[in-house]
Amino acid sequence: MKAPDQQYAQFSGTPVPPGDGDAAGREPVDQDLLQRLADAHGVGTSFHGWDGLPHSVAPETLTKVLAALGVPARTNELIETALAEVELAPWRRMLPPAVVVQQGETALVSVHVRDGATARLTVVLEEGSGEPVEAVQQDIWVTPQDVDGVPTGRATFAVPQGLPLGWHTLQAESDGVTAEGTLVVVPARLTTADSLVERRGWGLATQLYSVRSKRSWGIGDFADLADLATLSGARGADYVLVNPLHAAEPVPPVQPSPYSPSTRRFFNPLYIRVEAIPEIAYLKPRKRATVDRLQEQVQVLNADGERLDRNTVYAAKLQALELLYHARRSPARQAAFDEFCRISGSGLEDFALWSAIREDLAPDDPLWADPDCALGSPEAESLRRKLADRIGFHRWLQWICDEQLENAQQAARRAGMRLGVVHDLAVGVDLSSADAWTLRDVLAPGISVGAPPDMYNQLGQDWNQPPWHPARLAEAGYAPFRNMLSTVLRHAGGIRVDHVLGLFRLWWVPAGNSPRDGAYVKYDHEALIGILALEAQRAGAVVIGEDLGTFEPWVRDYLAARGILGTSILWFENDGDSPLPPERYRTQALASVNTHDLPPTAGYLAGDHVALRSRLGLLERSEAEERAEHTATLEKMMGLLRERGLLPEDGAGAGVGSGGGPGSEERTIEALHRLLAQTPSVLLGVALVDAVGERRVQNQPGTTEALYPNWQVPLGDPAGKPVFIDDLPGNPRFNSLLAAVLEALRG
């Protein structure tokens, strides 16, 4: 935005008068004033807890959250100044930074100019396509305001209804003063899942790193994903849902959890299949022998059925990838690499810069927090020049990831899948991540995202992830959000949004507070959901929102109205104390028996999770009481299965430990999936772990690596023996469950 006149300068926060701080004896803060200010900035002053009761947010927490938003509120004088600024802030701008409107609706845009001056507003269509469109000024009178001594008026314009979907530019002009803003025209409703209503779909859900073939380097990779999609697609599956494939640290040691990445825009080179890179064919014999030796060293890890070793695998892959990066590329390959870098723009350059610096610096190095070393600073630009080759390497890694993901999606579609690969989008990134450094201008400082206390964790949760700053994200025209989505959706048939409720509000935990001492901060869900729908519509991708947990009742209805699918987990769908009848499930949802935070169904039926939580000291009552409640829950579900004719009345098939006899566990798991097939839900999910009889949970909430190897359990059979993709075509259990699902869906 151009703003030569102070009248149109961006307001970046109320200045803090010197000496206002924590002087002893200052007057107490007026709680009504503080709450008014919190309300004005979308900070919740109270919330309903899992116990159904209202809980007030402590004034100290409100003050800290407001400070993270750039709003000082430590004294009544500051609060009163900030309240006045809330009213004046829009008037300080000639144009709003971003306007998001649903296609077919009219958007009213305020243009602030000197009182009495004329104004003009035009819309420049995305990428300059077509002629600029004139917005029509409306006959709406608004009383002028005095803004820093300048009498300022407001002209209201209507943006035409017939604009195409996309990212357009608003341009305002008055007396030689100009300003620009972002105009995003989004779908009123995402239509990509409409065809599933007529013919429902199903697919596999898996943690890709855990799914290996005999060609893997000890970790499941993009080529394994292509093979899994081909295998399941041949059996009628429509998609493969994978864990977040976001990039982690650029060098070992790496974070095991795929839900605590370094960036949500780019991908993890750990998943690269080295031999699938074309340049390997042109390596000189000595270098090719080095690659072969590295491969042999880590392929022995495939035999380990207990724990994955990401660090050893990644170290070996990086050595091999270094050799391939320096191999000469053909003109066509070089042109493809150059084009990838061009379309990825500065985001790729900045991520590669962070990766190159992070290779040698610890995550807690002072450089990351030093404003003199921030992105764009002379120091950062000096490092960009100094590390040019390493930056090139990390750009190249992302190109290879992009190519191999494209190959996986193409393999899925060739196998007959209607969707193909469905990606998972994590809630956020780690506090010491690439995004935390490169996107610091649109993230809230001194804050972490988490969850308030609930029945599973009465202390609340702190996920150590910085949240979007709502106002600054809008100031950036939502470009960081758009760029993230467009990259993830580039080679995808769908996207699962973890904790989609975070696009409505997030639980902010100020630094130094316990997770229970947080507050909800609202986001412009109309804008965020609209942009999500726009990018998915352009990619032809289905969106699945993980809408479990505590939420306001209207949220699910809103998501459904916008064409976003919800998530239904069999064990969580209840009608009072009884399982919800299948016909009462939501139509617009992905229904599955379990999720990655629950044990595989074989383990759940056996109550393995009760024993595990007891062993780890996570139970708040005796193991006997927990097991009795679990048994009662299972019996209600078994009763529903018998009632529907999916299990015999004599009790056979009640699961492990119930005396059901050989094969009863498999019959029960198939019966549970046949029950889900009776729902109207447009998508049905089958966990790969259920299809092979795995019993171990991937993630045990409330534990650290010292207690449980979260996100490090390889795919195995009931005895924990590794199961490879190569074994699946001849695996009777795999084939039987997938055939049962297909038969049940076809009726």
User: What count of other Cβ atoms lies within 10 Å of the Cβ of residue 156?
Assistant: 18
Between CA 144 and CA 428 the distance in angstroms is 42
CATH of residue 142's domain is 2.60.40
CB distance 529 to 503 below 8 Å: yes
Does 551 or 2 have the greater pLDDT score? 551
What is the predicted pLDDT for the residue at 19? 37
Residue written as token pair 């209507």: 158
Strand order in the sheet with 447-451: 461-462, 447-451, 505-510, 519-522
Mapped onto helix, strand or coil, the DSSP state of residue 299 is: helix
What is the predicted pLDDT for the residue at 704? 86
* Structure tokens, 133: 């469109």
> Is the predicted pLDDT of residue 15 greater than 70, yes or no?
no
Q: What is the DSSP pairing of strand 447-451 with strand 505-510?
A: antiparallel
Q: Is residue 3 part of a domain?
A: no
Residue 703 pLDDT class (50, 70, 90 cuts): confident
Residue 651 pLDDT class (50, 70, 90 cuts): low
> Is the predicted pLDDT of residue 9 greater than 50, yes or no?
no
425-447, pLDDT tens digit by residue? 999 999 999 999 999 999 999 99
Phi, psi of 147 (to 5 degrees): -115, 105
| 638: amino acid identity, one letter | M
What is the predicted pLDDT for the residue at 25? 53
Q: Is residue 537 part of a domain?
A: no
Residues listed for the chain: 747
* Bridge partners, 128 (sequence order): none
Q: Which residue, 87, 92, 108, is CA-closest to 155?
A: 108
* Bridge partners, 156 (sequence order): 110
Domains: count for the chain: 1
Angle 278-280-284 from CA coordinates, rounded to 5°: 140
Sign of the CA dihedral with 221 first, then 226, 229, and 234 last: negative
339-375, pLDDT tens digit by residue? 999 999 999 999 999 999 999 999 999 999 999 999 9
| DSSP designation for 262 | S
Q: Is residue 122 part of a domain?
A: yes
Residue 661 pLDDT class (50, 70, 90 cuts): low
What is the predicted pLDDT for the residue at 551? 76
Q: For helices 479-488 and 331-358, what crossing angle results, to 10°?
A: 130
Helix (H) / strand (E) element for 201: namely: strand 201-206
Percentage of the chain lying above the pLDDT 90 cut: 88
Mapped onto helix, strand or coil, the DSSP state of residue 541 is: coil
Q: Residue 335, class by beta-carbon neighbours within 10 Å (0-12 exposed, 13-18 middle, 19+ buried)?
A: exposed
What is the predicted pLDDT for the residue at 12? 31
Q: Is residue 684 part of a domain?
A: no
Q: Is residue 174 part of a domain?
A: yes
Q: Cα 645 from chain centroid?
A: 39
Between CA 113 and CA 541 the distance in angstroms is 42
475-517, pLDDT tens digit by residue? 999 999 999 999 999 999 999 999 999 999 999 999 999 999 9
What integer is the mean pLDDT of 216-220?
98
Strands (E), 363-453: 420-425, 447-451
> Is the predicted pLDDT of residue 707 greater than 60, yes or no?
yes
What is the predicted pLDDT for the residue at 26? 67
> Is the predicted pLDDT of residue 231 greater than 90, yes or no?
yes
Domain that holds residue 151: 99-186
Q: Mark residue 597 as left, alpha or beta (left: phi above 0; alpha: psi -120 to 50; beta: remaining).
A: alpha
Determine which of 379-388, 645-654, 668-677 has the lowest per-residue pLDDT on average: 645-654
> Is the predicted pLDDT of residue 46 greater than 50, yes or no?
yes
User: What count of other Cβ atoms lies within 10 Å of the Cβ of residue 207?
Assistant: 24
What is the predicted pLDDT for the residue at 456? 65
What integer is the mean pLDDT of 216-232?
98
Q: Is residue 650 part of a domain?
A: no
Residue 548 pLDDT class (50, 70, 90 cuts): confident
Q: Which residue, 269, 281, 290, is CA-closest to 219?
A: 269
Helices H, strands E: what count in the chain?
21, 25
> Is the predicted pLDDT of residue 397 greater than 80, yes or no?
yes
> Is the predicted pLDDT of residue 4 greater than 80, yes or no?
no
Angstrom CA distances, 459 to 45, 455, 517, 615, stand at 19, 10, 9, 20
What is the predicted pLDDT for the residue at 21? 42
Long-range contacts of 329-336 (CB under 8 A, 24+ apart): 329/279, 333/278, 333/279, 336/399
> Is the predicted pLDDT of residue 134 greater than 80, yes or no?
yes
Q: Cα 500 from chain centroid?
A: 8
Does 368 or 26 have the greater pLDDT score? 368
Longest dimension (CA), the chain: 87
291-337, pLDDT tens digit by residue? 999 999 999 999 999 999 999 999 999 999 999 999 999 999 999 99
Q: Is residue 554 part of a domain?
A: no
Q: What is the DSSP pairing of strand 494-497 with strand 420-425?
A: parallel
Q: Is residue 148 part of a domain?
A: yes
**What is the pLDDT of the chain when averaged over all its residues?**
93
Q: Which residue, 744, 734, 746, 743, is CA-closest to 211?
A: 734
Mapped onto helix, strand or coil, the DSSP state of residue 524 is: coil
Spatial neighbors of 48 by CB under 8 A, at least 6 apart, are 54, 55, 550
> Is the predicted pLDDT of residue 747 greater than 90, yes or no?
no
137-155, pLDDT tens digit by residue? 999 999 999 999 999 999 9
| DSSP designation for 275 | G
Q: Could you tell me the pTM of the whole model?
A: 0.94
| 415: amino acid identity, one letter | A
What integer is the mean pLDDT of 92-106?
96
Mapped onto helix, strand or coil, the DSSP state of residue 665 is: helix
Percentage of the chain lying above the pLDDT 70 cut: 95
166-192, pLDDT tens digit by residue? 999 999 999 999 999 999 999 999 999
Phi, psi of 70 (to 5 degrees): 85, 25
What is the predicted pLDDT for the residue at 11? 27
> Is the predicted pLDDT of residue 27 greater than 90, yes or no?
no
Mapped onto helix, strand or coil, the DSSP state of residue 717 is: coil
Long-range contacts of 383-389 (CB under 8 A, 24+ apart): 383/353, 383/356, 383/357, 384/349, 384/353, 387/353, 387/356, 387/357
Between CA 604 and CA 655 the distance in angstroms is 9
Residue 17 pLDDT class (50, 70, 90 cuts): very low
